[in-house]
Each structure stands twice: as C-alpha cells, then as structure tokens.
Structure 1
Amino acid sequence: MPLDAESDAIGTLLLERGALSAEQLVAAEDLAEGWNVSLVQVLLARRWITLQDLYEQIAIYHDLPLVDLEADPADDTLVRRYDPAVMNRFSTLPLHESDGTITVATSRPGPRTLLHIRDLYGPRSRIVVATHLQISAALQKAFRDRHSHDAVFALAEQDPDMSAQQVVTPPQILVLYVLLSVLLAGVAFAPVPTLIALNIFLTVFYTGNFLFKGLLVWIGGAAQETSSRAIAAGAALLREEDLPVYTVLVPMFREPEVLPILAQALRNLNYPLAKLDIKIVLEEGDHDTIEAAERLDLEGVFEIVRVPPSHPQTKPKACNFALRYAQGDFLVIYDAEDKPEPDQLRKVVAAFQQSSPDTACIQCRLNYYNARENWLTRMFTLDYSLWFDLMLPGLERMGVPIPLGGTSNHFRIDVLRDLNAWDPFNVTEDADLGIRLTQKGYRVGVIDSTTYEEANVSIPNWIRQRSRWIKGYMQTFLVHSRRPVHLWRSVGAAGVFGFVFFIGGTILSGLLNPVFWAIFGLWMIFGAAAIEPFFPLPVLYLSLVNLLAGNGLLIYLTMVAPFRRRWTDLAPWGVTVVGYWVLMTVAAYKALWQLISNPFYWEKTQHGLSKHTASELAEAKAGGPEALAAAPMPETGP
C-alpha cells in the first residue's frame, strides 16, 4: 500500500527532529507498505521512538493539541454517557463539556475519526490528541464497576443454565437424593443384589470408557494428516497485507519474572507485530507484576489491563474484563510461560478460512519444553501427547463436544462476545466453553500447531493444578447435565455419549480407581472367595478384562503417544503411568472436597520452577531481547 500523505509527513517530521534515523524511516515505510498498515502503526510496533514523541508529531501534523490524560483526566460522568464499545473501536474519549462544546480526545485523528466525532459528540466538538494507551486506561477507569460486574455476572444473568454460579440445581439435588436413597435402601434390605448391580454398572462404565478412549486414539491418529498439509499450505500463501488484527490475551498473576520471556515469545510470532493487539491482563493489586511490565518499556502494541478486585478471583473473570477492550477480529489466550510455534497465528487464520462458517474456535496442541527434566515432567508430557495429539482430534472427527485446553484457543471474537465469553465461576473455563460452543451450534476445530509450556516439576504443585482441572470438569459436567434433553438435541447421541465418557469418565476414573484397586488387593490376599458373592462369574471376567486388557490398553496408548512427535525415548516411561494415576486419584479427591467446600477457589499453579526457565531468565537479563531471540527452544522442539 503506498504511504498516504499523513504517514509521509509524520515520517518527515520525525526524521527532521532526529527522533528517527533515515534507515529506521525507510524500514518503517517498507513495513507499512508490506503489512498494509499506517506508518504510525508500524512505529507503535517498534521501540525506535517513544510514544510521547510519536503522538507529538501526530498532533503537530493535524494542528491539534496533545493532552496528558494522567495530568488532566476525563470527566467519568461524561464518559459514561456513551457506549464504551464504540469509544474503544474508534479510540475516542470525551474529556469535558463546556457551553455545549465537548472536548474529545482521540489517538487516531483523521477524516474517518473526525466524521465519527462530529456525528457522536456533536458538530461543535473540540478535538485533541492523546495516546491510545491513555484513552484505553481512561475507559477502563470510567467503566471499572460496570465492566467488573459484567465480567463476573453477565453469563449468570443472561444465560443462567450455562453458568456454574449455582453448583448444583434443585432438580440435580433431587436426583442425587433419590439415587442415594435407593442405594442406601438397597444396601439395607438387599445388600448382595445391590452391590452386584452397582458392580455391573461400574464395570460396564469402565469398559465403555476404555473402548471409547481407544476408539478416539484410533480415529484421531489418522484424522489430521490431510488437513494439516492443507492448512500449512494455506498459511504459507497468506499475504501479510491481508492478515486480520489479532488480539492476544495474556492473563498473569504474580509472575513478574517471566515477563521478558513472554514478550520475546510474542515478538517471535511470524505475524506482523503492528497487527497484534496484546493485552497483558493483571490484577489491579498485583503491583510487582505491573511495575515489572512498566519497566520493560514494551512496544506500543502491548497494553497492561488492570482488573479490579472482585470475587471470584479467577482467570476467566480477568479475561472477560479484558475482552471489553479487545480490538482484533480473532482472539487467542496464552499463559505467561507459553511458547507458541511462530507460524501458529497464520495457521489458525488459514484454518478458519478453510473451515465451515459455524467454526467458532480452533484449538492448538499443547506440550512441554522441559519434558525430560524429571519423572513427573515425562509423565505430564506423555499425558498431553495422548490428550492433544490423539484424543482431541478424535473428538473433532466424531463430532463430540471438545473440552478446550486452558491456553492456545483461538476464537472468532464476535462469537465469543455473543456467548458472554468465559464462565468466571468455572475453574476450568475453557473446557466448559468448548462444550457450550457445541451446544450453541458452533464447531470447534483442532489443528497441528503446538504451544510449548513449562511442565510442573513439583508433585505438590502438580496436585494443585490437576485438582483445579478436575474440579472444573466436575463443574462442567454438572452444568451441562442439567438439561439432558436439551443436551441430546443440541449435540446428538454421539455427543452425549462422548461427553459422558470423556468428561464423566475422567472424573469417575480418578474417584473409583482406589475402590477397584482395593478389591483387587482383597482378591490377591484372601482369594476369590472374599469377593465371589458380589462378583458373579460374567462380571468377574469382565472386571478382569478391564484390569488386564483395559489398563494394559491405556498403558500401551500412553507409550505410543509420543511417537507422533518422534520422542521415542519417552515411550518406555509409559509403563510407570500407574504411579501417575495414583497422583490423579489424590487430585480427584482433593477436587471433590473443594467442590463441596470452596467451589470457586482458583488454586494457582506456580510457574518458573523449571531449571530451563531459570536459564532463560538469566539469558534475558544478560543479553536482553536479542539473546532471547537467538536462543533455541529447550530440549523438545517440534
């Protein structure tokens, strides 16, 4: 795109002032033309010039005053008279009103914005210039209470059946009461038949769970080869000037130490930085991380969003608040320690272009860059390889609702807003959103692009994380089983069975494993006579099949999971997965207790414990962004 007169003039002004060198100006002009953006947008994506210098020249070019909204803040009462979504889209802010004239600040003065201001604020409006970050911060301040309330309660108020605010509904309490009463009555008056019936039900459920997971892996293993090639080819053909604006949300809490790594990981994306709208989402009271982010002096495409304190204090609530200020057509969430593959955003854009119009979300794969650090990281890597590389593609192929992972989910932002985004009362918010999207008639896709994370190296830390995930699965199961008829009609028979086995099976296996292990122990110690009254011969044989063949199948699947990535050295560790299942049982019972005692508590996972993270931070402090950019990905590259 040829440079317009404004860009040419602003570039000349910056050059004459010595704010830009001739080489920088030429490079910026080339990028503006190649990316199909303005020179100002390119300069916001580079640290060649301060925001103050850039906006001074914008104001001079348009012959408008430049104001400092920190020294001269807006009248919040006046601001709240207007639609925050419109002001955010046009980057305008009414400051003061005097004698019928409204002073309006904008970061994008120009013909289109001038017409908008005249139309919205009146023909007598007085226009001034302010930085886009100050305008956004002023909007967040003015609508702090309203957007904080909406971030917490919008879903619960507008679609209460889909909210986990009420943990168990009265009909569910009634069903649970009836089932428990029948069970206790059966144990009291017919203990042997009751226990036999219970064993039959659980044994058949376990068998179905094993078979379903085996089917998922079989289907998922061959599901993506053709689509992966097509998406990669489509991504390679995308022109930079045609790429849409992409919002990146990075919710963080008390993680100042990983900020330099995060910033560089986002800079390394193969996507025009000027077309990224990056929101670092921080709790208002997290002063250490806020100060660390401000000290980094990040490019103008990075913005700190301060989330007001409220309960529950959860990641989905923070993301809901930040969503009000997103500028992109698409949105992705990354965690602070994430390292997405550089071409991930391009692949997602290509995937959306090649998908049906009802596709609302694309889930990328997750895995770990410190896989070989210790036994736990190896098992965590095997777990994720099985889950994201094989099972989720199988769910997609079968049309079963997909419980999204906690990061690297890419959304059409219009759909996200229509559905009131994430449930702040669900501590596994993305899994819930994946099921809700399917129920609302949208499709979730899975593509072959990986985001690398830091695997937990500490068992207590892992238990805290996994118990939160399982508690969220419990919340998700309770929410989406409230209306079984609606669930059946919206996702179909395959979707219901998949939901029951994939969500319900994950919960029940953790809770019931110790029961079956204890029965097996009784059998080994006291012989078959101790359990024969409760296990008729067919049930006993089926239970043995589950014990030997079913668990053997899961061990085998765990061992073959890393072969897709050619991490064959991890395969032998699959035989130790039984120890991992024991940890999952501990996490499951902790999750059940917290569901009863503290359902909305977000148990934070501590990051930065890996020795790889420590070494990268040392490199970042020693050499800055250049050192990070040159550093290879640790240990387990794709």
Structure 2
Amino acid sequence: MGGSGSDSRSSNLGPAAAGLPVELAFLTRHGIAPSDLMRAAERAMRSRTDPAREAMTLGLIDEVGFYRALAAEMGLPFQSTPPSVPPGGEYGAILRQGFAPIREETSLRFVIAPEGPALRRMIEAGPRQREDIAVTTPRRFAETLRSSNATELARHAAGLDEAGLARDSARSGASRGQVITAGTGLSTAAIGSVLAPLETFFALALLLGPIFLGLILLRLATTIERATPDLWQSHRWRIDDARLPVYTVAVPMYREEAVLQQLTEALCALDYPPAKLDIRLLIEADDTGMWASLAKMALPPQFTVTIVPPGVPRTKPRALNLALLEARGSLFTIFDAEDIPDRQQLRMAAARFLSGPPDLACLQARLLIDHAEEGTLPGLFALEYAGLFEVLNPGLLLFQLPIMLGGTSNHFRTEVLRAIGGWDAWNVTEDADLGLRLVRAGYRIGDLPSNTREEAPLTIPAWLKQRSRWIKGYIQTLVTHSREPVRLLREAGVSATFAFLSLAFGTVATALGYPVFAVAALLAYWDGSLFAPQGTLATLTSTIALGVWLLGSIALFAPPAVGALRCGSPGLLLLLPLLPLYYAMVSVAAWMALYDYFNRRFVWNKTEHGLARRRAPAEPATNAAAIPLRPAPEAARY
C-alpha cells in the first residue's frame, strides 16, 4: 500500500513495550499502561486468542479507540463512519480481509479494518503516511459493506441467488408428479368413500398402518433404551481454553424488547473465553423498537448487532443465512431470544466436536421448559419436551437415525453448514429440513446433554399459532424431500428414510387423523366390528387397528413419563392423564397448519416472549472455573 515503512516508531517502542505483541505494543504510546497490556498479552498467549481482542474484552480500550490509535500510529486518517464501498465481489472474503475500495470520487481510494494476521502484518510493516487510505473499525466496515450489498445479500439469504435456486427448497412447493399423485390418491379415496366406504376405510388403514406403527415403535424403542452415561458430565472434565475454537452464536430477534436484558445476561454468563465468542444479534431493518432498546445498552465487545437487509420471506432462517455468511467462528450455534442456556453448553459442544469424527456435523442440546408450575398448558408443554429431548431424540441418535432438530441450541461445524447451503429461508420449520439435509449429505447428528431453558406459551391461542407453524413446516419438509423418493432412499438410506417418514409424515397424519380415527374406533366398538370383524380384509384391518391402539396408548404416555423422571421433574407425572386432550389440541393445530399451507405458506407466526412470570434468572458469570480441571494424564484431556 505504499510508504517506506521506515518510521522509527515501528521498531523503537521503548523498554515499556518489550515483550508485548506488536498488536498491543504501540498502545503504550496511546495512554494504556504496559502492565495492563502485558495482562492482555498473557491471556492471549494462554488462550491462543487475538491480542487486540483480549485488550478489548478486558476493557482496556474499545474498538473505536483501538483503531483510532492504529490510524495515528500508521499515519493514516481515521473514519468513524466510512464512505460507501462499491457492491459486488466475494462478500465473505472482502469482509474477512477488511479491505475495500471507496465508491465516491474523493481523495480516499481505500478503506481498511484489519484484524488478526492482517493487523499484525500492517503494524510490522510500519507507518504508511498516506492520505488515500482510511482506517475504520471492523463493525463500521461490515455495516458499510452490508449496506452497499443489501440487494444481493437479501437474495442470497432468501436462497434466490444462483446457488440457492439450484437447491431443493420449500419455495417451489409440490412438483407436478407430487400434485398428480396426491390428486389421484384423493380422487380415488373420495370415489371409494361413496361407492364402498367401509372397504375404502380398511384400505386406507392398511396403507397408513405401517407408518403409524413405525412412529409408535420408534417411540417405544427409545423409551426402553437406557440413557447413555455421560463421562464428561460425571467426571466434570474441562477442556483447555487454548484448544477452544472461535464460536459464533446467532440470535434472531424480532420485537423481543421484553427479554433482551435476560438474553444478554444469559449470553454474558457463558463459560467461554469472551475473545473467542462472536455473538450476533440479528435485527430486522424495520424493528425500530429493538434498535431503540439496543441503543440504550452497553454491549460487551463480543456482541455484534447485525441489521438484516429488507426482503422476503420474513423468516428466522433468512436472518440465519446472513449470520452464517459473516460468521467468524469455526463452530456455530443458534439461540432463541427467550433462551437461557447452561453456562457450560458451548464448552461441552466444542469438546464433543474436537473429540468426535469429522462427519459429526451437528449436536442437539436439550430444551427444557422452566416454568411448568405456571399453569396446566406450560406443564403439558414441559411434559412433551421431556419426552422429546430426554428420551426420543437421544434414543434415535443412539440408533444413528435422523431427528427433527429443535429450532434452537443446535451446534454445527460452520464449514459443513456453508457446504450444504445453510438454511432454507422458505421453510417455517427450518430445523426439521436442515436435519434431514445433513443426513442426506452424509453427516451425523449427535446428542448434547446440556439444557437450554425455554419459555412456553401461556395461552391456547398463542400455543396454537406456534404449533400450527411447526406442523406447517413439517408439511413443507415432507413435500421438499419427497420430490425424488429414489434419490432420497439412495442418499439417506432405507432406515433413515423410514424414520423420517414415520416422524414427519406420521406426526402430521396422526395429528390430522386424530378425530377421524377416534370416531371410527368408537363406531367400530359400538357396532361390535372392532372385536368381531367380518371377512379377511376387515379382520386384518381390525388387527392392525387394535395393535396401533394398544401400542399407541403406551407410546403416548411412556416417553413423557420416562423423560419427566430423567430430567428430575416427577411432579409432571400428574399431568399424564391430560395428554389425550393435549394431543387433541395438536390435531386442531394440524388442521390450522393445513389451511395455512395452502393460503399462508410462508407466513411466520411470531410467538410473543417475556410473558412468563416465574422463570429463574440466568446464573451469573463467575471468575472461578465452573468445571474443575481434569487431573493427569494430560494426554487424555479432550
């Protein structure tokens, strides 16, 4: 970039700066005590972090102060609000390099915001003494670059760029073959119900019976499977900070002012080196309330507020795709705005990834409703979650079968997420779709026995809106992945495909058919045909129906009961008799979802948070290690 680099300041920093890395040594001339800088340098060396970031996380200097001092040291002008840069180019590469040309015709030609190795090389090269290169902060550089590329970024985040259009997506809906197949099936069933209603019902029962039985057997198998002992938890081993990678934490938020303080406290309490955290609060461009609330807060240096460019669809996965593009971490996780994760969760996930095989691409932590005592509905929600995250998901993963990922507390290898194209922005249950895409790409999902406390809806209307969105997303996922069934079988395998159909199609079909099958069973019981069928077809159908009913009743109650005991909440067992009524509500939500699929397919039903009154606050951060160091031998530490 020019300049002789011969200014004596770059090589003669004096005895006070001796032993300091070059990223910190020059700050001795800008009012920071050498002893404080040495403390930051020692932490950076011990944790293998960037020295400049350590100085900022310790509060020795803020980002603006650091880059203003850097500009003065290099003999370059500093721009707190840099001029716009031209759109185009490889966005991620430009962002990471921190170097871009200026768009306007001014005396300035380039704007820079170097970090990491680029920062070190720049300081080592010495002062530039140029007026055509301006220094700014990485945050301002990212904001300027994002603003200049807003249109293209919106297309990328929505999967409307060239790469996104080449991938399967819920955006395009059902294929012609799917429409013809579904239309033929529905027409046949409609005609049959008029001409031969009993035989048609028997045929449908025989056709759907294996799927229902598959769902039931999966639930029963995971219930009787013993929980895998977790040696990391029981021995309380602690991975060295030096081995921890940079971790990106993405939090999509929309009108979440009520839980903003709780969220920031929970994220600040995470037991992870702050200099290795890349926490991104994702805010929609029109969310002025969140803008105002965040403007009043003094966020720590590891937090970044990212404004998502306007565009469609207005969904959570669209915001996550932008965070993935800008992520600094080699590991990536998602939290919802109301989440309170366990302090050790990131450290535990990093340990699992470091000790696991390369094809371990995702870890699903366990979600826990922490205010079950606030009402019957939150209690039933907590009981359902106990069965899902303490029993069903860990059991399926133990059998190496796919699961329907939760929408939060998923932990990923960033490179894998980028390789498969991130999230489908048009799927309103993006987690379910992503889990199957990982399996189809040849990756594995693992269980992470660490809790994230969540907030359940308090009212039935709010619960129905949330649950109908989930089921609508299941329908979208089914349609997307069944366009090419032969390819699905080839990529995922027979067992994973059957598990997916049982979980996704079985869940949707049982929810939609819950009232129909209940009425049919009552009528069959009333007229005696359930236990005394006439004819071979009726006998076979009745046998399957009785098997589904008996095993289904056990599968309905067993996982939640076992899950409640495993998570230490035996009081939830008192709500078991209400589960049939709860699943009747799921049926109502399923019919709402079916209507929405055809009329409001991409509308995201927003769940309001911050209404629960009995949630325990986040555990405060402490300087002491929450998990003591594991004893020797050193080679065994992971």
- 1:356 partnered with 2:363: no
Alignment size in residue pairs: 602
CA contact (8 A) 2:56 2:63 kept: yes
Question: Could you tell me which residue of structure 1 aligns to residue 596 of structure 2?
Answer: 594
- Is the partner of 1:238 in helix, strand or coil? coil
How far apart in 1 are the matches of 2:232 and 2:509? 38
Identical residues among aligned pairs (%) = 32
Q: Which residue of 2 aligns with 1:327?
A: 328
Contact residue 151 and residue 321 of structure 1 kept, 8 A: yes
Please give the secondary structure, in 2, of the residue aligned with 1:165: helix
Distance, in Å, in 1 between the alignment partners of 2:78 and 2:444 is: 47
Q: Which of 15, 18, 22 in structure 1 is aligned with 2:32?
A: 15
- Is 1:104 aligned with 2:111? yes
Change over 3 Å in CA distance of 1:91–1:315 after alignment to 2 = same
Q: Which amino acid aligns with 1:10?
A: L
Question: Structure 1: which amino acid aligns with 2:65?
Answer: D
Q: CA deviation at 1:517?
A: 1.4
Query: 1:151 is matched with which residue: 128, 153, 157?
Result: 157
Cα deviation for residue 447 of structure 1 reads 1.7
Aligned CA distance change for structure 1 residues 107 and 200 (closer, same or farther; 3 Å) = same
In structure 1, what is the equivalent of residue 627 of structure 2? none
**C-alpha distance in 2, partners of 1:12/1:448?**
49
- Tell me whether 23-32 or 427-436 shows the greater mean CA deviation: 23-32
Tell me if the contact between 2:23 and 2:52 (Cα under 8 Å) persists in the aligned partners.
no
Structure 2: distance between partners of 1:375 and 1:117: 64
1:19 aligns to what? Answer: none
Q: Distance in 1 between matches of 2:559 and 2:104?
A: 68
**Residue 388 (structure 1) shift:** 1.4
2:342 counterpart residue number: 341
- CA–CA separation in structure 2 for the residues paired with 1:99 and 1:46: 37
Matches within 5 A, 1:459-608: 459-523=460-524, 528=529, 536-608=538-610
Partners of 2:131 and 2:488 in 1: CA distance: 52
Q: Which of 168, 172, 185 is 1:166 aligned to?
A: 172
2: CA distance between counterparts of 1:124 and 1:295?
Answer: 37
* Match runs of 1:116-515 below 5 Å: 126-154=132-160, 158=164, 160=166, 162-219=168-225, 221-222=226-227, 224-225=228-229, 228-230=230-232, 236-515=237-516
| Cα pair 2:426 2:602 within 8 Å, conserved | yes
Q: 2:71 aligns with which of 16, 35, 59?
A: 59
Determine the C-alpha separation between the residues in 2 that align with 1:117 and 1:141.
Answer: 32
1:23 to 1:169, Cα distance in 2 relative to 1, 3 A: same
Q: Tell me which amino acid in the other structure corresponds to 2:607.
A: T
Cα distance in structure 1, aligned partners of 2:195 and 2:61: 82
What amino acid is the match of 1:486? R
Instruction: Tell me the amino acid that sits aligned with residue 468 of structure 2.
Output: S
Letter in 1 for 2:155: H
CA contact (8 A) 2:83 2:103 kept: no
Note closer, same or farther for the CA distance 1:116–1:278 as it changes in structure 2 (3 Å cut).
Answer: same
Q: Which runs of 5+ in 1 are unaligned?
A: 17-21, 617-624, 631-638
C-alpha displacement of 1:296: 0.5
Residue equivalent to 1:94:
101
Q: Which has the higher helix share?
A: 1
Change (3 A) 1:26 1:124: closer
Separation (CA, whole Å) in 2 of partners of 1:114 and 1:127? 16
Corresponding residue for 1:609? 611
TM-score by length of 1: 0.87
Once residues 532 and 179 of structure 2 are traced to their aligned partners in structure 1, the CA distance between those partners, rounded to angstroms, is: 33
Cα contact 2:170–2:480 (8 A) shared by 1: yes
2:216, 2:551 within 8 Å by CA — same for their partners in 1?
Answer: no
Q: CA distance change for structure 1 residues 529 and 283 in 2, over 3 Å: closer, same or farther?
A: closer
> Per-residue deviation at 1:250?
0.5
Q: Structure 2: how far apart are the matches of 1:259 and 1:531? A: 61
Check 1:165–1:131 CA distance in 2 against 1; reply closer, same or farther (3 A cut).
same
Structure 2 length normalisation: TM-score? Answer: 0.87
Specify which of 19, 35, 56 is matched with residue 47 of structure 2.
35
Runs of 4+ in 1 over 6 A off after TM superposition: 97-101, 115-118, 122-125
Asked if 1 retains the 8 angstrom alpha-carbon contact of 2:321 and 2:423, the reply is yes
**Partner Cα distance (2:189, 2:279) in 1:** 54
Question: C-alpha displacement at 1:158, in angstroms?
Answer: 4.1
Partner of 1:6: 23
Structure 2 residue runs without a partner (length 5+): 1-18, 623-638
| Per-residue deviation, residues 131-190 of structure 1 (Å, max 9, x unmatched) | 111111111101111111111124885464521111211010011122123223433444
Q: In the aligned structure 1, how far is the partner of 2:233 from the partner of 2:488? A: 32
Quickly say closer, same or farther: Cα 1:229–1:186, change in 2 above 3 A: same
Secondary structure at the aligned position of 1:364 is classed as: strand
The SS at the match of 1:445 is strand
Inter-partner Cα distance in structure 1 for 2:164 and 2:532: 52
Change in 2 beyond 3 A, CA 1:159/1:355? farther
**Quick one: structure 1 residues 487 and 129, their matched pair in 2 at CA, closer, same or farther if it must change by over 3 Å?**
same
Q: Which amino acid aligns with 1:558?
A: P
Q: Alignment partner of 1:15: what SS? A: coil
Aligned partner of 1:636 in structure 2 is: none
Question: Structure 2: how far apart are the matches of 1:177 and 1:55?
Answer: 64
Contact 1:258–1:608, Cα closer than 8 Å, also in 2: yes
Q: CA deviation at 1:548?
A: 3.6
**Cα offset, 1:209, TM superposition:** 2.3
Secondary structure, aligned partner of 1:281 = strand
- Per-residue CA deviations over 1:527-580 (Å, capped at 9, x if unaligned) read 659996798244334423433442133213322211112222212322221111
Q: Does the Cα contact within 8 Å between 1:156 and 1:162 map onto a contact in 2?
A: no
User: In the alignment, is the contact (CA less than 8 A) between 1:156 and 1:163 conserved in 2?
Assistant: no
Kept after mapping to 2: 8 A contact 1:523/1:531 = no
Provide the rounded CA distance (Å) in 2 between the counterparts of 1:375 and 1:33: 52
Question: Could you tell which deviates more after superposition, 159-168 or 287-296?
Answer: 159-168
Establish whether residue 73 from structure 1 lines up as the match of residue 83 from structure 2. yes
C-alpha distance after superposition, 1:250-282 (max 9, x if no partner): 000001121111111111111001111111001
Indicate how the Cα distance of structure 1 residues 464 and 401 shifts in structure 2: closer, same or farther if over 3 A, else same.
Answer: same
Distance in 2 separating the partners of 1:475 and 1:117:
54
In structure 2, the residue corresponding to 1:89 is in which secondary structure? helix
Whole-Å Cα distance in 2 between the matches of residues 232 and 84 of structure 1?
Answer: 44
Q: AA paired with 2:341?
A: P
Q: Distance in 2 between matches of 1:194 and 1:132?
A: 66
Equivalent-residue separation in structure 2 for 1:109 and 1:569 (angstroms) = 52
The aligned amino acid for 2:102 is L
Mean CA deviation greater in 58-67 or 311-320: 58-67
CA RMSD of aligned residues (A): 3.1
Cα deviations by residue, 1:376-402 (Å, 9 ceiling, x for unpaired): 111111111111121112222222222
Structure 2 contact 282–305 (Cα < 8 Å) conserved: yes
Work out whether residues 467 and 591 of structure 1, in 8 Å CA contact, stay in contact via their aligned partners in 2. yes
* Structure 1 residue matching 2:172: 3-state secondary structure: coil
